[in-house]
Amino acid sequence: MSEHTENARLGLAQAAYVVARRDLRAILFSKAFLFFLLGPVFFLLVAGGAASVSQKTVENREPPVLAVSMDPADAAAIEVARNRLQDMVDLPRMERVDTGADPAKVLADRSRNYGGVLTGTLDEPRLTGTPESIERWRGEVALTAGVAKGRGSNYPEVTLQPTATSGASAKRSLVGTATATVTLMFLLTMLLAGMVMSNLVEEKANKIIEILAAAIPMDAVFLGKLFAMLGVSFVGLAVWGGIGGTIMAAGGRSLAELTAPAVGWPVFAALFLVYFAMAYLLIGSIFLTIGAMAPTVRDVQTLSLPATMLQLGVFFLATYATSDLGSPVELAAVAVPFSSPYAMISRAAQQPALWPHFAALAWQALWVLLFVRMGATLFRRRVMKSGPQQPRARRWGRARAAT
């Protein structure tokens, strides 16, 4: 039995595995893969800039709140004084909490955006919070307490009690982590999707696709190439993670020093890999279909532009929703298949609940199967169709002549 006959009898899964193994080996042992490994340098720069912009956006959209934990009479006087001064002075938004509440517990409440806690009396007010917050609010609190007491220009001395963190600072850190993760996932997905499309166009030009089509089903070629690039991405992530861990260990640093995601580092890392795979399979199936329809590299650039713009829109939607969990925009980002992986990894960084991720993964898996199936069908029809189409009249005339 010839080798061609044996390959022709391979099932879809076996044939896809053969193609994936071939592409994986060819890419991993190529010079281009070494340049691919340099990608995180640019990713980190872009992610750092995006995280900084996002933190600034959160501060502007939802500034930290000053919790007031004082005697009810003093708290009411503070509230009245703030209402009198708010049109003349930029004062922090204040919110009354239980009298005698522990400032550390108030600041640890991540469901609220507390940047500091005001305790004590009007004669001896005390500010507890992160150093940057209480130093910024020191003058405003003294002014408000003086007006509440009716002292005119004689204002009390505010005692500062710095803490390491607060709910507001922790929230900003989590938003920064979420934004950096979304940016990293987006850049990795776009880079890998572009590579698989370029690889397909090159093989079409070299007639390699026609050789594969003669031996195995085209659906298997599509699936094999898609999952080969996904395997390459996991190898790259393993290399980058190992290098990053080695650098941190050599410098005596660890993940414990960073703000941990709400679900914890182990679960967050696992969710990142799963959501990255979902995002890649969705956009990769579209890009691979575009590569099948484009006969030249120039056509690839033209046809891929709408898909690229779609991905940019998805990225901006997910980034915007990062700082506004539970809003209609964020819920829409979760529901849209292309933006759902990004929106959900953002939620994993900021909220500890795990059950929404099981529902989201099931929803995304359904769309992955749908898009992969549609992409494979279009791939088979476009790649297998070679040569110009003959007019129907000419085909009809040849059929009559043959009879």
Dump pLDDT digits (tens) for 283-317: 888 877 777 676 666 676 677 777 778 788 888 88
Distances (CA, A) of 363 to 115, 240, 340: 37, 30, 9
pLDDT of residue 362: 92
Residue 23: pLDDT band by 50, 70, 90 thresholds?
Answer: confident
Please give the Cα distance from 130 to 59 (Å, whole number): 15
Q: What are the backbone angles phi and psi of residue 124, rounded to the nearest 5°?
A: -135, 75
pLDDT of residue 82: 84
Residue 256: pLDDT band by 50, 70, 90 thresholds?
Answer: low
pLDDT of residue 358: 93
Q: Using the CB atoms, write b or e for 278-292: b if 16+ within 10 Å.
A: bbbbbbbbbbbbbbb
Q: What would the DSSP string read from start to end of 350-397?
A: H----HHHHHHHHHHHHHHHHHHHHHHHHHHHHHH--SPPPPHHHHHH
Instruction: Check pLDDT > 50 for residue 160.
Output: yes
3-state secondary structure of 55: helix
Please give the Cα distance from 321 to 328 (Å, whole number): 9
Contact 137, 168 (CB under 8 A): no
Mean pLDDT of the chain: 76
For 203, the token pair is 């093989």
Dump pLDDT digits (tens) for 27-48: 788 777 777 777 666 656 665 5
Please give the Cα distance from 346 to 182 (Å, whole number): 7
Residue 65, by phi and psi: left (phi above 0), alpha (psi -120 to 50) or beta? beta
Question: What's the burial of 401, exposed, middle or buried (CB within 10 Å: 0-12/13-18/19+)?
Answer: exposed
Dump pLDDT digits (tens) for 180-228: 788 878 877 877 766 666 666 677 666 677 677 677 777 787 788 888 8
Dump pLDDT digits (tens) for 57-71: 555 556 788 889 888
Helix %, strand %, coil % for the chain, to 5? 70, 5, 20
For 377, the token pair is 């069908």
Alpha helices in 166-264 (DSSP H): 167-205, 208-215, 218-250
Which is nearest to 40 in space by CA: 242, 198, 194? 242
pLDDT of residue 80: 86
Please give the Cα distance from 61 to 202 (Å, whole number): 48
% of the chain at pLDDT higher than 90: 5
Name the residue ranges covered by the structural domains of the chain: 10-56+169-384, 65-165
Dump pLDDT digits (tens) for 166-192: 555 666 677 777 887 888 788 778 777
Q: What are the backbone angles phi and psi of residue 122, rounded to the nearest 5°?
A: -65, -30
Q: What are the backbone angles phi and psi of residue 66, rounded to the nearest 5°?
A: -95, 115
% of the chain at pLDDT higher than 70: 69
Positive or negative, the CA dihedral 233, 238, 241, 243 is negative
Average pLDDT over residues 75-90: 83
For 222, the token pair is 């599509």
Please give the Cα distance from 158 to 137 (Å, whole number): 10
Residue 3: pLDDT band by 50, 70, 90 thresholds?
Answer: very low
Instruction: Check pLDDT > 50 for residue 5.
Output: no
Residues with Cβ < 8 Å from 310, sequence gap 6 or more? 338
CA angle 379, 385, 387 (to 5 degrees): 145
